[in-house]
Amino acid sequence: MDSPYRILIFIHVFSAIGSIGPFFILLPIIKQLPKSSEEALAAYLSIFRFVVRLTKHMGHILVGSGVLLIIFGPWTWRTPWIIMTLAVMILSIFFLARAFSPTLKKFEEEGHDKIKLSEKLKRTLWNYILLLLAMLWFMVVKPVLW
């Protein structure tokens, strides 16, 4: 493997870390939401929105570098683990598009139930983390599925 390809692998791995890792810092923040003051709630929700935005942009780098790795590497678009990664990625794109924003906006509504909304965010976050980890598993293990 030549050096530019190795750099591309590094970029891909770095962007995978940046696409998944920041979500884990949201877990302790979600625990604080039900008992937080309005001022603290605004700060926590700001952090939450930042993390979602950051991971979206890292996901763009991840997809771009993944495409380049397939084009210039030994894998083809018909490789089973690549097909499955793409399938899970498409699911995660639809999931992320509607996963967090509506719930975060409900925190700003009058008379919102912080406990109920926090639980919904927690479930949504874990579901999304599991989708991301499934993609990571396909990329790391590269299972022969058919």
Domain tally for the chain?
Answer: 1
The string of pLDDT tens digits covering residues 75-95 is 999 999 999 999 998 888 887
The string of pLDDT tens digits covering residues 23-72 is 999 999 999 999 999 899 999 999 999 998 999 899 999 999 999 999 99
With respect to residue 82, please indicate whether it lies within any of the assigned structural domains.
yes
Domain that holds residue 18: 3-141
Report DSSP letters for 64-117, one per residue. HHHHHHHHHSS--TT-HHHHHHHHHHHHHHHHHHHHSHHHHHHTTSTT--HHHH
With respect to residue 134, please indicate whether it lies within any of the assigned structural domains.
yes
With respect to residue 146, please indicate whether it lies within any of the assigned structural domains.
no
With respect to residue 67, please indicate whether it lies within any of the assigned structural domains.
yes
Which residues, including other chains, have CB under 8 Å from residue 22's CB and lie 6 or more apart? 51, 54, 55
